[in-house]
Amino acid sequence: MDKAGKRVKPRSKPGDYKLLKELGSGNFGSVHLAQRISDGRESNTLVIKHTQPRHSNGVKALINEDRQEAILLMRKELPTFCFALGTSQVLANGNTWYHCGTHDSAFGIHSLTHAHSTGYEVSPAGDIVHSMGFDGESYRAFRLKSLYGGVEYMPVDGTTSLPIPDAWAV
């Protein structure tokens, strides 16, 4: 849909993009966030892909629209199943934030009687370095640098952008 609410034709169809690494088994969930890399040719797309019925996978892929190629950068099986709500976000330190807005932590399936929200910070190596959660549902949860204007945040390692694979270097 465009901004006026009119249906538009998709720019690509299944099979148009070459996957340079397989994304793994399971059913596709949905894209929770797409971030364009500053040179305007590649886009970094983050998705949470649901593997029914037990766990969700946090998947980070780099998509080159000009070459119609997708490279899997990281895939992490999260210790929960994200039923419907969630967020994915690349953090300034290069880690990825995956938020599961509603799940039943005891059984790995959605339950109307017990809802729990959990967020995971995952390193580029696929390690969970931080997690937090609370009882209740949340639609989206983004990580912010600061709630206060003028307060600057800089990651410890000084990283401010994602690396582009050598194969795509100009």
Binding positions for ATP are 49
> Count of alpha carbons within 13 Å of 100, Cβ hemisphere only?
33
Beta bridge partners of 97: 89, 121
Asked whether the beta carbons of 122 and 98 are under 8 A apart, the reply is yes
Q: How far apart are the first and last CA of the chain?
A: 33
Which residues line the annotated binding site? 49
Distances (CA, A) of 47 to 111, 131, 147: 23, 18, 26
Distances (CA, A) of 120 to 26, 87, 91, 108: 20, 10, 12, 16
Exposed/middle/buried for residue 37 (C-beta within 10 Å: 0-12, 13-18, 19+): middle
What residue type is assigned to position 147 of the chain? L
